[in-house]
Structure formats: structure tokens, C-alpha cells
């Protein structure tokens, strides 16, 4: 016989628990480094070798096929204007015109590196299964002028595999894209330094000149090296930006510096790279990203990554009295009716409870992460959760 582990989270019991340690998260779980964004490359190509499932009557396909054959040394008749005559290719069902896309990783890539590319038919092809991408030149597009004037950043070709057998007009080519250049995303920049002066921020190179109320000799300093932290959308707020900036300012190396990190808005924190790390900014940024936020920002958001089994709960997320279970764990907040996830009726109780306390109770009982995730999803579906749930991969 299986017995449920009862978790009583009534208010009286909650306040007898050990003091709740503020859940801390590392900066890298909240922010990305500006300049480390992926770059999408795109182009158009021909898929050949199809079994009668291509574009039999798409003029653009016929023109592309004629041009490809001309470039391969086959003599294709041309009209008086020098354009290839495509009539003889009409009805060809073993070729299809496709869009080709590939992504340059956020960390960049070296010349010659290969990566997966995606192929999508946009004509009348019924299927590209079993086909081979002949060739595609990839640019950063969209085209702003003559196609031949666009810089080619990568080329693509290879055998196509369907990632979804039910969707036969799209597929992938493993290692089908090869980068023609080094992609080195810049993540640092030089700017006029913002220097602390008598406890206040002082910019020796202001955009608009100002007249100080007392005689003052502005400090002189060479241009300062910075990087920016960008708070992810699900965490972005003025409070979060302020908390992260305060965490950085308390970093011991900044105590001895005339510089300090600054929250520019609700998503951007400008971080000066200390002189000792000027020649090795990567190590410095790594240390910054590993720092834990001193006080978890107030938030009414719950971020769930079911694949990794992680849950980040805002301090202000609360839920109504409820009875709900997951697996061999049950939550009972008092003598109330069982939560019906399909049809929720008022429980007649005005009290509500902190979700972080429930998280602590489950952790104390060594409940698996899936239990907390299931309960949160049940609370959300039943309309008992005061907060926004965001799911990430």
C-alpha cells in the first residue's frame, strides 16, 4: 500500500519552519552578455534527386535550374537579352526551389566550421524527402540590392533528412553549412568612463557641458573598457536591474576602484572591466556571471525549465488555499475542497500562501523537481496562482 506524504502548509505551520533562506540565483541565469546573440544566415537553393515530387511548373525553379546548369558548363540556349530559355525544363518534377537558413552560434564560429542548416520548400513541391541540396550561398539578407553584390558568408549543400516525417516539405542537412569567414562577436567596447566622485557618479566627458556649483578638477582617465549585461525578458524590471547592479558594486574588486557598474534601464547593466583584467576580459566576465544576486529581485514570475528540472520563483508569487496532489505527495492548506482543475469553485478563504514556502517544504521532503512543477501547473490551470508562469527550454 502506498501512503502519501502529507505536506501541511497552513500559516501556523509555515511560520514554525526554519528561517527561509533567500533563494539566490547566479547572474548568468538572469542575464546574457550583449554581443553574444546568434546570427541568422539565409539563401535560396535547388534540391535535386526527388522522385517526381518537385516543382513541375514554377517559373522561378526553371530559371534557377537553367542558371545552375549554365554555371556548370552545360550550354543552355539564351534569348536576345542573354537570358536562359527555360521552356525545355518545364515539367521537371525532380527538382524544387527552397529557402536555406543556418544560424551562427552566439559564441561565434571559425572559418571552415560546419553546422546544421534548414531547408524549406516554398513552391509547389509535394515532398523534398530523399533530395539533395545542390548548392546555396548564404548571406545575412534580406537582399537590399543585386543578389550578386551580397557578401556570401556561408555555403550549403548535402543530403536532406526530414526532422518530422509528417512534414515532408521541410528538412535538415547535418553539417551541411560551412562558414566562409570567422565570426567573432564583439562583446566589449570603449566609452568615456563614469567615475565615482565623493560618493556620486561623475562623468569627465559629459555629452552636455555642465557648470559645477563648486570649483572642481575633473579626473582624467583614458577610455574605459566596458561590457553590457542584458536581462532576459522573463526577468526584466527596474527592480531586477537595480539588484544586479548592487550585487556587482559589492564585488570586492570594485571596492578599490573608482568605477562601478550602473543600471542603465530595466534590461541593461553597464559593467566596467577592471584594469587588472583589461587584457583578459573573458576571465573577468566569467567571474561576474558566476556571482549570485545578493537579494533575489521581487517578482511575481515563475520560470520553469521542465527539461532541466529547474524552477525560479519570484518572492511575491502566492497561491490560494487548495488541496492538490502530485505522485505520492499531497498539499493541504486546511479544511478546503479538493482542487478541480477543470472547474474551480471559490474556496471561501481569503488567506493565501507563499509559493517559495511550498518549494522549501517539498525540498525538505526530498521531493523530485517534477512534483513542484506539476503542482505549480495545477495551481495555474485551476486559477489559484497569483503570478505569471513562463516556460523555457
Q: Model confidence over 269-328: pLDDT tens digits?
A: 999 999 899 999 999 999 999 998 865 555 678 888 888 888 888 777 888 776 666 666
- Residues for the chain: how many in total? 393
The pLDDT score that the predictor gives to residue 221 is: 58
Domain boundaries, given as residue ranges, for the chain: 5-23+298-391, 24-35+186-203+221-295, 39-179
Write phi, then psi, for 44 (nearest 5 degrees).
-130, 140
Average pLDDT, the chain: 77
The pLDDT score that the predictor gives to residue 295 is: 59
Per the CB < 8 A criterion, the answer to whether 129 and 163 are in contact is no
Tell me the angle at which helices 369-381 and 355-364 cross, rounded to the nearest 10 degrees.
Answer: 150
Query: What is the Cα–Cα distance from 205 to 189, expressed in whole angstroms?
Result: 16
Beta bridge partners of 111: none
Q: Model confidence over 17-67: pLDDT tens digits?
A: 223 334 468 899 889 999 888 889 999 999 999 999 988 777 787 778 777
Pairing state between β 170-179 and 154-159: antiparallel
DSSP string, 191-243: E---EEETTEEE-SS-SS----SS-------PPEEEEEEEE-TTT-SHHHHHH
Amino acid at each position: 500500500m502506498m501512503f502519501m506524504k502529507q505536506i501541511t502548509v497552513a500559516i501556523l505551520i509555515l511560520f514554525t519552519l526554519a528561517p527561509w533562506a533567500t533563494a539566490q540565483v547566479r547572474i548568468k541565469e538572469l542575464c546574457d552578455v550583449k554581443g553574444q546573440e546568434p546570427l541568422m544566415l539565409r539563401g535560396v537553393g535547388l534540391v535535386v534527386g526527388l522522385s517526381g515530387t518537385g516543382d513541375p511548373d514554377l517559373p522561378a525553379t526553371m530559371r534557377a535550374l537553367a542558371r545552375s546548369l549554365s554555371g556548370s558548363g552545360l550550354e543552355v540556349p539564351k534569348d536576345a537579352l542573354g537570358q536562359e530559355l527555360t521552356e525545355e525544363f518545364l515539367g521537371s518534377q525532380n527538382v524544387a526551389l527552397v529557402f536555406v537558413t543556418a544560424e551562427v552560434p552566439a559564441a561565434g564560429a571559425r572559418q571552415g566550421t560546419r553546422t546544421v542548416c534548414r531547408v524549406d520548400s516554398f513552391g509547389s513541391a509535394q515532398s523534398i524527402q530523399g533530395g539533395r541540396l545542390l548548392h546555396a550561398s548564404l548571406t545575412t539578407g534580406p537582399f537590399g540590392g543585386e543578389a550578386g553584390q551580397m557578401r556570401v558568408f556561408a555555403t550549403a549543400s548535402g543530403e536532406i533528412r526530414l526532422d518530422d516525417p509528417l512534414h515532408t516539405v521541410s528538412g535538415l542537412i547535418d553539417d551541411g553549412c560551412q562558414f566562409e569567414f570567422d565570426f567573432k562577436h564583439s562583446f566589449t567596447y570603449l566609452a568615456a568612463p563614469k567615475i565615482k566622485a565623493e560618493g556620486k557618479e561623475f562623468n569627465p566627458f559629459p555629452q552636455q557641458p555642465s557648470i559645477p556649483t563648486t570649483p572642481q578638477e575633473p579626473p582624467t582617465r583614458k577610455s574605459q573598457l566596458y561590457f553590457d549585461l542584458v536581462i532576459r525578458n522573463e526577468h526584466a524590471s527596474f527592480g531586477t536591474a537595480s539588484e544586479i547592479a548592487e550585487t556587482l558594486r559589492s564585488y570586492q574588486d570594485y571596492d578599490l576602484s573608482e568605477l562601478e557598474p550602473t543600471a542603465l534601464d530595466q534590461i541593461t547593466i553597464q559593467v566596467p572591466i577592471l584594469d587588472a583584467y583589461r587584457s583578459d576580459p573573458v576571465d573577468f566576465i566569467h567571474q561576474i556571471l558566476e556571482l549570485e544576486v545578493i537579494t533575489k529581485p521581487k517578482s511575481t514570475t515563475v520560470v520553469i525549465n521542465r527539461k532541466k528540472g529547474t524552477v525560479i520563483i519570484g518572492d511575491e508569487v502566492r497561491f490560494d488555499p487548495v488541496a492538490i496532489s502530485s505522485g505520492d505527495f499531497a498539499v493541504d492548506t486546511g479544511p478546503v475542497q479538493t482542487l478541480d482543475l477543470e472547474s474551480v469553485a471559490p474556496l471561501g478563504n481569503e488567506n493565501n500562501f507563499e509559493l517559495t514556502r511550498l518549494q522549501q517544504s517539498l525540498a525538505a521532503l526530498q521531493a523530485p523537481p517534477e512534483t513542484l512543477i506539476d503542482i505549480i501547473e495545477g495551481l495555474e490551470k485551476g486559477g489559484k496562482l497569483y503570478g505569471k508562469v513562463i516556460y523555457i527550454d
